[in-house]
């Protein structure tokens, strides 16, 4: 259940980004990228996101997770490519002397927003 801890950071980041937008926007969707090696359960993330965004400007927004592939660089033969599931080995020469260049990341990619019809009223508050 480390999804809750990750989501706390996500919501804090999203609220920070929303606070910067002038005039204020309504958030409809949050897109995140999750590396293939990160064991993050989408349902747990969605549940945590819904709970943590209650009574915030992000409430009601949808959360979309994009899985990014595990990509390796082989130090032995120079091969560069996507790893097979649960196998951190070179796809060319099968060497284990590889560097994981992506697959462990967790980042916010984009926000989908709409203009708020009553933006002026909200800015005056």
Residues that bind another protein (CB under 8 A): 1-2, 5-6, 9-10, 12-13, 17, 25, 32, 37-39, 86-89, 95-98, 100, 104-114
Question: What is the closest distance, in whole angstroms, from the C-beta atom of residue 64 to another protein in the complex?
Answer: 11
Q: With CA atoms as reference, report the closest residue to 60 among 69, 70, 51.
A: 51
The nearer residue to another protein, 41 or 121, going by C-beta atoms, is 41
Question: What is the closest distance, in whole angstroms, from the C-beta atom of residue 121 to another protein in the complex?
Answer: 21
Instruction: List the structure tokens of 15.
Output: 């609220």
Instruction: List the structure tokens of 100.
Output: 């994981």
- CA dihedral (42, 101, 82, 44) in degrees, to 10, reads -10
Helices and strands in the chain, H and E counts:
3, 6
CA distance 40 to 46: 11
The nearer residue to another protein, 25 or 80, going by C-beta atoms, is 25
The nearer residue to another protein, 43 or 124, going by C-beta atoms, is 43
Question: What is the closest distance, in whole angstroms, from the C-beta atom of residue 96 to another protein in the complex?
Answer: 2
């Amino acid at each position: 259940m480390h999804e809750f801890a990750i989501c706390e950071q996500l919501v804090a980041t999203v609220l920070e980004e929303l606070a910067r937008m002038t005039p204020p926007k309504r958030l409809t969707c949050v897109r995140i990228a999750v590396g293939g090696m990160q064991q993050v359960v989408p349902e747990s993330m969605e549940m945590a996101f819904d709970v943590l965004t209650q009574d915030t400007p992000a409430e009601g927004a949808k959360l979309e997770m994009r899985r990014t592939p595990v990509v390796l660089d082989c130090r032995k033969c120079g091969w560069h490519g996507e790893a097979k599931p649960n196998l951190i080995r070179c796809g060319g020469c099968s060497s284990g002397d590889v560097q994981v260049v992506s697959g462990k990341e967790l980042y916010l990619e984009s926000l989908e927003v709409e203009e708020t019809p009553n933006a002026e009223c909200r800015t005056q508050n």
